[in-house]
């Protein structure tokens, strides 16, 4: 955790180098002075096979700001291990200079100042430029999409995923796996899966009734590249019907299914695979554990937990690649595959600096065409951010503090609960908040903001349950999000305790009184996985609150005390 | 018992360490004592060629798919240690059975350990187990 003094020093150092600046072209010029497209794409082609990994873009088709987490605590064997290293420690570990482009792209601190310097990141038109450049160097490179692609924006919601599918179809991935796509509902999902010109994979997607592999999703697909026989196995998010509303896709069952994973790897090895790639939406800690227990996987392309790592993580003979989220990065992995073995690799996590990488004209036109019908709605300004709005962090983020404030006031509640999801771009201080921005942090197909009563006892059960989904020491029992965000109530959490003993000192902030297990509290929240949840969609709640408040200031959140 | 399970879980991360803890840890709990003793005649099940497959986290605690396989077994019983009545399934295999494996769905009241005990042809007992979490649902990334 960074102290205020450290923060000020970092901020001053940056100002000394780049001077102070508001919005406008200055930031763009600064980024271009430091970086060039050639530098970002520089890569000496290696071996005979290239993989391109893109994951968790959450329908962010145009460039965004996205602050990485400050608080991302690992438990059990992962305590203090990547990807649970943040800020200055992360930069020291990977030799990243303070104030550099990589500092801005990969760590959280001094984000507002660096954001003004280096500009937005991502954008599918820039990603298309990068993918085309890699394909120019290696025409048979495989592009693999780790999922959480057809979810997360105003346009994606209103077209039920079509705008993203249109754009991704131009990018032509070779295969994809899934998570939030299932919340489009089975019917629409299958329609889109039937539409796309690439393989839809998931060895752990089963028919719920018969507990057999689901017909619409193949466990793996064969590819040939560099004269090598390559098997790409898919692994969808294991806990979809638990973390998301199972009633939207009742036909399917998931799970980690380590046994069938090993069987699948053995099958493709037996059929002569020279290279086995796992396109995974397990989350990083689960992939790490799986790499140590399932034998025969060469490369895991890891998604779900939104970690971005500048180097592969090696477990035995397996390398794990983490490519971040929201379109900020593309990974290129070149491999030397010979005699059925991976003999070596070269890797680059390519940051998509949107002011440096030239947009691909064809993709830019496609994205613009799909945005056109919604342009006025997307661009309407609802308020202004006084400070930085961000989401990532184990316990809170200023975006979620804002959403909880809106829930408490608009729904007249004592306590607000907001889901600990990891998607949702950031807003810089002084930046107008548009309707698009609000949807980027709230868009989903089960958005209703409920208002209900919960006893103090039940609230504790909810908090303990969610905490165990994140801090269970065995990654196979984790679901990969962050702690539920709480408004109106403070608490203390001891991460190393077992379920039922982590949460204590629950306090109603309004009165400072301890939460009474026997009393009922009025609770407002959203993203309930229960069917038939009633209430206005969360984006309407936030929009109404923003319009009433204009310029919004979110104070420092000190209501959660964390004991590691 | 709670502590033991937790330690098992932590130890179990690396490998099959979960297998080496004696089953006695569970058998001390009523009503498991009687049920297991009734099957094994008080014998302590060992480890061996028995595999219990169950999800780490149940998608629906009311119907949890499990599979158990123990080549050469004469009988396999499955116990849900946290249910009010732990005995949930018993499978017997005749001499002509092609394989000694079975799958079914069980109901789990809460997060708990599921235990499978096989009686082999020679009258000895082996066991495998798995922790299945029953959760009220969270929020994914």
For residues A9 and A80, the model is more confident at A80
pLDDT value at residue A17? 29
**Does pLDDT of B77 surpass 70?**
yes
Q: Is residue A375 part of a domain?
A: no
CATH number at residue A67: 3.60.21.10
Interface check for B6 against chain A (CB to CB < 8 A): the answer is: yes
Asked if the model's pLDDT at residue B14 lies above 80, the reply is no
Domain count, chain A: 2
pLDDT bucket at B136, cuts 50 / 70 / 90: confident
Closest CA to B92 of B132, B120, B52, B67: B120
Beta strands in A201-274 (DSSP E): 206-207, 212-213, 220-225, 228-235, 252-253
Of B15, B131, B140, the CB nearest to A479: B140
Asked if B122 reaches chain A (Cβ–Cβ under 8 Å), the answer is no
Return the sign of the alpha-carbon dihedral for residues A369, A370, A373, A378. negative
CB contact burial A365-382 (16+ within 10 A = b; e otherwise)? ebbeebbeebeeebeeeb
When comparing pLDDT for A148 and B1, which is higher?
A: A148
Closest by Cβ to A241, choosing from B6, B59, B139? B59
For A469-487, what is the mean pLDDT?
94
Query: With contacts defined as CB-CB under 8 Å, which chain A residues touch B131?
Result: 477
* Average pLDDT of span B10-29: 38
Q: What is the pLDDT of residues A270-304, one digit of tens each?
A: 999 999 999 999 999 999 999 999 999 999 999 99
Residue A30 pLDDT greater than 80, yes or no: no
8 A C-beta contact, residue A221 and residue A199: yes
Boundary of a domain, candidates A370, A398, A416 = A370
Contact call for residues A100 and A117 (beta carbons, < 8 A): no
Specify the pLDDT at position B105. Answer: 95
Residues in chain A with CB shorter than 8 Å from the CB of B57 are 239, 242, 255, 477, 479
Q: How confident is the model at residue A260 (pLDDT cuts 50, 70, 90)?
A: very high
Please answer yes or no on whether A242 and B56 come within 8 Å at the CB atom.
no
Parallel, antiparallel, or unpaired: how do β-strands A489-494 and A560-563 relate? Answer: parallel
Judge whether residue A12 has pLDDT over 50. Answer: no
CA distance A437 to A421: 16
In this prediction, residue A160 carries a pLDDT of: 98
Pairwise CA distance, residues A550 & A546, whole Å: 6
In a domain, B15, yes or no: yes
DSSP H or E run through A376: helix A375-379
Nearest residue on chain B to A285, alpha-carbon basis: B13
User: Is residue B41 assigned to a domain?
Assistant: yes
Residue A376 lies in a domain: no
pLDDT higher than threshold 50 for residue A454: yes
pTM: predicted TM-score of the whole model, two decimal places:
0.91
Domain of residue A532, residue span: 381-563
* Residue B140 in domain: no
B139, part of any domain: no
Confidence check: pLDDT of B13 > 90: no
Position A22 scores a pLDDT of 31
CATH of the domain at B32: 2.60.40.2470
A 10 A CB-CB count for A561 gives 13
Closest approach of B37 to chain A, Cα-based (Å): 30
Out of A309-313, A482-486, B18-22, least confident range: B18-22
Tell me how far apart the alpha carbons of residues A34 and A42 are, in angstroms, rounded to a whole number: 15
Q: Do A253 and B59 touch (CB under 8 A)?
A: yes
A170 and A260, same domain (yes or no)? yes
The helix (H) or strand (E) run that includes residue B91 is strand B87-92
- Split at pLDDT 50, 70, 90, the class of A356 is very high
Which structural domain, as residue segments, surrounds residue B76?
A: 5-134
pLDDT digits (tens, 9 = 90+) for B53-63: 999 999 999 99
> In angstroms, what CA-CA distances link A433 with A154, A240, A325, A555?
14, 31, 21, 17
Worst-scoring range by mean pLDDT, A120-134, A172-186, B123-137? B123-137
Q: CA-based angle A154:A160:A164, to the nearest 5?
A: 75
Is residue B123 in a domain?
yes
Rounded Cα gap, residues A142 and A165, in angstroms: 18
Cβ neighbours of A304 in B, within 8 Å: 140-141
- Which phi-psi region, left, alpha or beta, contains residue B126 (left: φ > 0; alpha: ψ -120 to 50)? beta
**pLDDT value for B31:** 66
- pLDDT grade for B138, boundaries at 50, 70 and 90: low
Residue B141 lies inside a defined structural domain of this protein: no
* A412 and A363 within one domain: no
Q: Which of A50-59, A245-254, B22-31 has the lowest mean pLDDT?
A: B22-31
Report the residue of chain A nearest B11, measured CA to CA.
A474
Are A349 and A394 in contact by the 8 Å Cβ rule? The answer is: no
Number of domains in chain B: 1
Q: What is the CATH number of the domain that holds A423?
A: 3.90.780.10
Same domain as A406, residue A290 = no
Residue B22 in any domain: the answer is yes
Q: Are residues A500 and A364 in the same domain?
A: no
Does pLDDT of B126 surpass 50?
Answer: yes
Q: Is the pLDDT of residue A237 over 80?
A: yes
Are residues A362 and A391 part of one domain? Answer: no
A142-163 pLDDT tens trace = 999 999 999 999 999 999 999 9
Per-position b or e across A124-145, b if 16+ CB within 10 A of its CB: bbbbbbbbebbeeebebbbbbb
Identify the residue among A250, A471, A477 best suited for mutation to test binding to B, counting B beta carbons within 10 A and taking the highest. A477
The answer to whether residue B110 sits within a structural domain is yes
Considering the domain architecture, whether residues A132 and A183 belong to the same structural domain is answered as yes
Q: Is the pLDDT of residue A24 over 90?
A: no
Give the pLDDT confidence score for residue A451 in this predicted structure: 96
Residue A20 has pLDDT above 80, yes or no: no
pLDDT level of residue A29 (50, 70, 90 thresholds): low
Interface A:B, Cβ pairs < 8 A: 105
Mutation pick from A259, A420, A469 vs chain B, by most beta carbons of B within 10 Å, is A469
**Using the beta-carbon criterion (under 8 Å), do B140 and A466 form an inter-chain contact?**
no
| Nearest alpha carbon to residue A459 among A401, A503, A393, A394 | A503
Task: With beta carbons under 8 A apart, name residues in chain B contacting A529.
Answer: 137
Asked whether residue A116 is assigned to any structural domain, the reply reads yes
B111 neighbourhood in chain A, CB within 8 Å: 499
């Amino acid at each position: 955790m960074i102290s205020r003094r450290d923060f000020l020093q970092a901020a001053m150092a940056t100002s000394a180098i780049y001077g102070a600046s508001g919005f406008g072209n200055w930031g763009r010029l600064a980024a271009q002075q430091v970086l060039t497209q050639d530098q970002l794409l520089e890569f000496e082609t290696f071996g005979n096979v290239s993989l391109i990994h893109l994951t968790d873009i959450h329908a962010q088709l145009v460039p965004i700001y996205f602050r990485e987490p400050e608080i991302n605590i690992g438990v059990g064997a992962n305590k203090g291990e990547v990807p649970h290293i943040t800020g200055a420690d992360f930069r020291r570990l990977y030799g990243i200079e303070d104030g550099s482009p990589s500092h801005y792209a990969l760590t959280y601190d001094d984000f507002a100042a660096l954001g003004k310097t280096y500009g937005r990141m991502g954008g599918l038109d820039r990603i298309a430029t990068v993918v085309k450049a890699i394909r120019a160097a290696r025409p048979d490179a495989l592009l693999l999409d780790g999922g959480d692609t057809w979810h997360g924006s105003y346009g994606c919601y209103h077209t039920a995923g079509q705008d993203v599918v249109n754009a991704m179809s131009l990018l032509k991935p070779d295969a994809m796996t899934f998570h939030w796509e299932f919340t489009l509902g089975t019917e629409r999902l299958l329609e889109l899966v039937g539409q796309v010109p690439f393989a839809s994979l998931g060895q752990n997607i089963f028919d719920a009734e018969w507990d057999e592999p689901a017909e619409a999703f193949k466990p793996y697909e064969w590819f040939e590249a560099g004269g090598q026989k390559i098997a790409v196995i898919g692994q969808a998010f294991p806990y979809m019907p638990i973390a998301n509303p199972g009633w939207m896709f009742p036909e399917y069952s998931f799970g980690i299914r380590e046994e069938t994973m090993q069987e699948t790897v053995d099958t493709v090895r037996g059929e002569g695979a020279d290279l086995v790639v796992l396109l995974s939406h397990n989350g990083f800690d689960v992939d790490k554990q799986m790499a140590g227990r399932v034998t025969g996987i060469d490369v895991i392309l890891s998604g779900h937990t939104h970690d971005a790592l500048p180097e592969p993580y090696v477990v035995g003979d397996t390398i794990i690649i983490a490519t971040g989220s929201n379109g900020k990065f593309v990974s290129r992995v070149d491999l030397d595959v010979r005699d059925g073995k991976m003999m070596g690799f070269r890797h680059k996590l390519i940051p998509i600096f949107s002011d440096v990488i030239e947009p691909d004209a064809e993709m830019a036109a496609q994205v613009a065409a799909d945005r056109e019908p919604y342009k006025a709605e997307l661009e309407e300004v609802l308020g202004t951010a006084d400070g930085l709005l961000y989401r990532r962090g184990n316990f809170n983020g200023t975006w979620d503090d804002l959403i909880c404030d809106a829930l408490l006031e608009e729904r007249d509640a004592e306590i607000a609960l907001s889901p600990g999801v990891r998607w949702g771009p950031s807003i810089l201080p002084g930046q107008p908040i548009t309707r698009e921005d609000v949807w980027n942090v709230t868009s989903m197909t089960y958005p209703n903001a409920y208002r209900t009563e919960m006893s103090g006892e039940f609230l504790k059960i909810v908090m303990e349950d969610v905490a165990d989904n994140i801090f269970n020491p065995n990654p196979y029992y984790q679901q990969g999000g962050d702690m539920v965000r709480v408004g109106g109530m403070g608490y203390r959490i001891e991460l190393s305790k077992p379920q039922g003993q982590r949460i204590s000192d629950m306090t109603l902030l309004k009165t400072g009184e301890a939460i009474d297990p026997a009393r009922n509290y009025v609770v407002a929240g959203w993203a309930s996985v229960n069917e038939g949840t009633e209430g206005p969609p969360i984006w309407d709640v936030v929009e109404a609150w923003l319009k009433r408040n204009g310029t919004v200031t979110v104070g420092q959140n000190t209501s959660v005390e964390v004991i590691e | 018992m709670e502590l033991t399970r937790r330690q098992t879980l932590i130890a179990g991360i690396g490998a099959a360490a979960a297998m080496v803890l004696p089953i006695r840890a569970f058998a001390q709990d009523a009503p498991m004592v009687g049920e297991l003793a009734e099957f094994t005649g008080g014998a302590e099940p060992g480890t061996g060629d028995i595999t219990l497959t169950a999800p780490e986290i149940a998608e629906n605690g009311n119907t949890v798919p499990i599979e158990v396989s123990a080549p050469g077994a004469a009988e396999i019983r499955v116990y849900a240690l946290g249910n009010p009545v732990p005995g949930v399934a018993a499978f017997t295999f005749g001499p002509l059975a092609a394989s000694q494996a079975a799958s079914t769905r069980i109901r789990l009241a809460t997060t708990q350990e599921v235990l499978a005990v096989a009686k082999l042809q020679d009258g000895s007992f082996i066991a495998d187990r798995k922790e299945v979490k029953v959760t009220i649902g969270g929020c994914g990334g």
